[in-house]
Structure 1
Amino acid sequence: MTEYEVDRALRVAVELADRACRTIRDTGGTGASPTGPVREKAGPADIVTDTDEEVERQVRAVLRREFPDWGIDGEEYGVEPGAAGAPHWVIDPVDGTTNYAHGLGWCSFSMGLAEPDGNPLLGVVADPWRREVFTATRGGGAHLNGSPVRAADHATLTGHVFMTEWAAHAHWPGQDALLAELADRHCTVRVMGSTALSLVQVAAGRASAAAIGAFHPVDGLPALLIATEAGATATPRLPAYDEPLLLAVPKVAAEARELWNRTVRPGP
């Protein structure tokens, strides 16, 4: 893709993020319940609201008009294939629907663009409540509300923050052992309820590391690019679908990876 195409795609994505955040703020949030019913998908811990669907419909309509040959993969409406060799969008309209549906002000809009092989080209993660928009393009660095952002310079996990998420309502394999090791190091763990928003805290310098048990491109790929463009290290560099992911700031990467390999990815 040309630099002009990526820049244009990023401009459109940021405009869509702003529109999505307004919709999210208007329909729910802290101290309020979202309008419309809350419905189950795979089970009681996997839910969807009218806002999830409305935001994704709005985004898809714009993308079909502006980039008709590109594919789309969205959390609520699945895959629309693009032309052969074309990039594809990934969209999570409300990442953290459970928080949103219960009036907890920690969710996000996540959107990215990837090559046919899955390598990310751009990422946008927007926090409606704090009015923060994280952006990145491959090789172009990471930004927060338009200003460059870098991962923290911490040299140890001790005394700092480690972000993670459950697998919906459940712990994922190795998570309990990892949390115990982090507790022994006096590293404070936070489970906040939005994969995309948790991962970008590493990019913002607020967390030393973050981990998830199952990588899904619709909510993980944009944040992965933002964090690595901010200087974080990813293990693996580009996870396969449902593969665990670890992010760490540079000086903590070796320590975090050693714990990771001992607890989550032990050898035979």
Structure 2
Amino acid sequence: MTSRDLDEALSVAVHLTQWAQARISTTRPARGDAAEKSGPGDWVTSVDHAVEEHIRNELLARFPGDVVVGEEAGTSSPVPDDADETALTWYLDPIDGTTNFVHGLPGVSVSLAAVDAEGTALGVVHDVYRNEVFSAVRGAGARLDGTPIVAPASRLGLRGGLLLTEWSGIWAWTGMHGLVTKLQDEFTATRILGSCALSLASVGAGRATAAVLGGHYNPWDVLAGALIAVEAGCVMFDVDGRSDDVPMRGLGVADPEVADAIQAMWHAAVIDESHRPA
């Protein structure tokens, strides 16, 4: 078990995402600033780079033995063989929702998580345009703007509920249409925010019934949001069932009352599409 002061680390993380929120929210990409990264629709801007560089430098200055893995610049340095057992590895997405940012839409967040030998130790998701901070420390619950998130006394279930999901890049993922259709039959609506981190954190905050991310994503997209959801009392699962660790090939979080039902629908949707003639 890490002996690091996780409350101190969380305080630093929140402060850094607050700086990032101010930087991002007062800026729009200049003409020609947005560039394609891995392919069409995968945008990166000078603001992504500037925010990541600042947070990376500040974390390494404050915690010299730690490692930072960022979406834009990769890993700060290899973890040494004799690394302090209390060292954390930070996963940073400086702008989760860059497509929204480029087009001037909401659904933009800063996602920052710290991982130790036991898994995700803390996470912060800062909603840039609502200026809300979702946070969690492992075993200590989740918070919204510093106030503990309390599960609602009564739940809607699937009827009238809300599923959040995200595209796999710009594409639908296997089983996506089937899951949405099965949930429509249960009178559950679906929304796409454009930010994996915000989708997961929003479920934790009780603003949606579930989030299912069935396509491609990276650790910096999901680690913070998944911890926030779990610490708020949600169930985490992959397409095959409940999971204690953050799944990296399909991830769901949901209200405990409906998690198993949604996971079963997701699994059935994937099977149905896999068996459909080409």
Q: Deviations over 1:136-175 (max 9, x none)?
A: 0000100000001134542521211100000111011111
Residue segments in structure 2 that go unaligned for 5+ positions in a row: 238-242
Relative to structure 1, is the Cα distance of residues 240 and 210 closer, same or farther in structure 2, using a 3 angstrom cutoff? closer
> What is aligned with 2:100?
99
Relative to structure 1, is the Cα distance of residues 199 and 34 closer, same or farther in structure 2, using a 3 angstrom cutoff? farther
> What is aligned with 1:239?
246
Contact 2:97–2:107 under 8 Å retained in 1: yes
2:70 is aligned with 1:74: yes
Letter paired with 1:67: F
Measured after TM superposition, the shift of residue 75 of structure 1 is 0.6
In 1, the alpha carbon distance for the partners of 2:50 and 2:263 equals 40
Contact 1:34–1:101 under 8 Å retained in 2: no
In 2, the alpha carbon distance for the partners of 1:108 and 1:53 equals 15
Measured after TM superposition, the shift of residue 254 of structure 1 is 2.2
Measured after TM superposition, the shift of residue 261 of structure 1 is 2.3
TM-score, normalised with respect to structure 1: 0.92
Relative to structure 1, is the Cα distance of residues 35 and 27 closer, same or farther in structure 2, using a 3 angstrom cutoff? farther
In 2, the alpha carbon distance for the partners of 1:178 and 1:261 equals 9
Letter paired with 1:143: R
> What is aligned with 2:192?
191
2:32 is aligned with 1:41: no
Q: How many residues of Structure 1 are paired with residues of Structure 2 in the alignment?
A: 261
Over the residues paired in the alignment, what is the CA RMSD in angstroms?
A: 1.9
Residue segments in structure 1 that go unaligned for 5+ positions in a row: none
In 2, the alpha carbon distance for the partners of 1:255 and 1:240 equals 18
In 2, the alpha carbon distance for the partners of 1:144 and 1:240 equals 24
1:58 pairs with one of 54, 58, 70: 54
Measured after TM superposition, the shift of residue 89 of structure 1 is 0.2
Relative to structure 1, is the Cα distance of residues 60 and 36 closer, same or farther in structure 2, using a 3 angstrom cutoff? farther
2:246 is aligned with 1:249: no
- Quote the sequence identity (%): 40
In 2, the alpha carbon distance for the partners of 1:161 and 1:128 equals 22
Measured after TM superposition, the shift of residue 185 of structure 1 is 1.2
Letter paired with 1:247: V
SS in 2 for 1:27: coil
